[in-house]
Amino acid sequence: METRPLPPEKELVERLKNNDIALFEQVVKEYHSSMYAVAYAIAGSSIADEVVQEAWISAINAINKFEGRSALKSWLIRITANEAKSRLRKESRSVSLEAVNENWATDTRFTQQGRWADGNPEWDISSPDELLSAGELKDCLKKHMDKLPDKQQQLLNLRDIGGLDMEAICNILEITASNARVLLHRGRDKMQRVIAKFQRTGEC
Amino acid sequence: MLSCKHIVDLGTDYLDQELNFWKKAEMKMHLMICGPCRRYIKQLKQTITMLSHWRMKQPTTEQLEQLKSNYQKAVSEG
C-alpha cells in the first residue's frame, strides 16, 4: 500500500549483498516498523529507536554471511529481539498478569444467555488494507493500543506487528504459552471491537 | 453447548490451531449455524492481517541516511 512489493527472497538477499542502495532503503522502510514494535515491546520506548538502529547495523555487518535459511524479515526480527534483550532495562514493567476475566461478566456485546446482542454486523470493507487507509481509524487503534495493559500490548507488538513466533515470545516475556495466547487474544479482541465500533458509528 | 461469548473467547486458539479435537469440532458446529460468530472469526482474521500490514513507525530521514551510509560502507568493503 505504502511501498511497492519487495522482490522474492532469494533475489532480495543477493541484491542486498551486492550494494543495491535503493533496495536497501526499501527494505528499511518495509521492516522498520516491525522491528520497532519488537524493540519497543521488549526494551521500552526510551531506547527502542537506539535498539532498532543497532540491530540494523548488526544486520548490515552480517548480511554477507546471511545464508537465507530463514526469511530476511525473521532474521532481522531475531537480531532486534536479541539486541533488545541485551539492553533490557532492569526495572521490570508491571508484570502482574491482569485478571483476564474481569470484564467477562459485563461484556455488553452479549445477552445474559451469551448470544450476540446486535448480531455482530458485517464490516463494510473488501480487504484489511482498506481498513488501514482510514487515517482516523489508525489514530483510534493506536490510541486504544496504548491504553491496553502492558502485556497485551507487548503480545500484539511481538506477535502480530513484529511477527515473532510464540515460543520466542514466551521466552522473552517469561510467561507460559497458554497465558501468552490469552493475552494475545484479549489484545486482538480489543482491536476488533475498536474497528467494529468505528465501522458502526464512524467514531473512535 | 458453547455460547457465542465462549466462541469469541476461543477465537485466537481456533485460528492458531490450538484447540483439541473435541473443542474444535464443537466450535465448527457452532460456526455452522451462527452467522454473527462466523463474522467475528472473519473480522478477527482481518484485524490480525491489518496489524501485520501496519507500518506504524517509519525511520526518520536522519536514521535512514545514517543506515544507508553504514550499508554502503559495509557492503563495499565486504
pLDDT in tens, chain A (204 residues): 445 789 999 999 999 999 999 999 999 999 999 999 999 999 988 899 999 999 999 999 999 999 988 999 999 999 999 999 988 754 445 444 444 445 666 788 999 999 999 999 999 887 778 878 878 888 999 999 999 999 999 999 999 999 999 999 999 899 999 999 999 999 999 999 999 999 989 889
Residue to test with chain B: of A20, A31, A33, most B Cβ within 10 A: A33
Task: List phi, psi (to 5°) of B58.
Answer: -105, 150
CB pairs under 8 A between A and B: 145
What percentage of residues in chain B have a pLDDT greater than 90?
83
- The predicted model gives B56-62 an average pLDDT of 91
Q: What angle do CA A87, A187, A94 make, to 5 degrees?
A: 45
> Is the pLDDT confidence value at B28 over 70?
yes
| Nearest in space to A100 (alpha carbons), one of A185, A195, A188 | A185
Would you state the cell numbers that stand for residue A204, as one nine-digit string? 473512535
Count of beta carbons in the 10 Å neighbourhood of residue A136 = 11
Mean pLDDT across chain B: 93
How far apart CA A106 and CA A18 sit, in angstroms, is: 58
Q: Is A23 on the interface with B (CB under 8 A)?
A: no
Q: Identify all chain B residues contacting A188, using CB atoms and an 8 Å cutoff.
A: 11-12, 44, 47-48, 51
Read off the pTM.
Answer: 0.86
Sign of CA dihedral A123, A129, A133, A139: positive
The whole-number pLDDT of residue A135 equals 84
Alpha helices in A64-176 (DSSP H): 72-86, 128-132, 135-147, 150-155, 166-173
CA-based nearest distance A92→chain B, Å: 24
Would you state the cell numbers that stand for residue A89, as one nine-digit string? 532495562
- The predicted model gives B2-29 an average pLDDT of 96
The whole-number pLDDT of residue A107 equals 87
The whole-number pLDDT of residue A154 equals 95
| Three-state SS at A46 | helix
Q: Which residues contact A187 (CB under 8 A, 6 or more apart)?
A: A145, A148, A152, A153, A155, A156
How far apart CA A156 and CA A186 sit, in angstroms, is: 10
The whole-number pLDDT of residue A170 equals 94
Instruction: Give me the amino acid identity at B49.
Output: T
Count of beta carbons in the 10 Å neighbourhood of residue A37 = 29
Q: Is A125 on the interface with B (CB under 8 A)?
A: yes
Q: Identify all chain A residues contacting B75, using CB atoms and an 8 Å cutoff.
A: 16-19, 60, 63-64
What DSSP state is assigned to residue A159?
Answer: I
**Which residues is A116 bridged to in the sheet?**
A110
Q: From A118, which residue of chain B is nearest by alpha-carbon distance?
A: B36
**Which residues is A110 bridged to in the sheet?**
A116
Cβ contact A184:A155 at 8 Å: yes
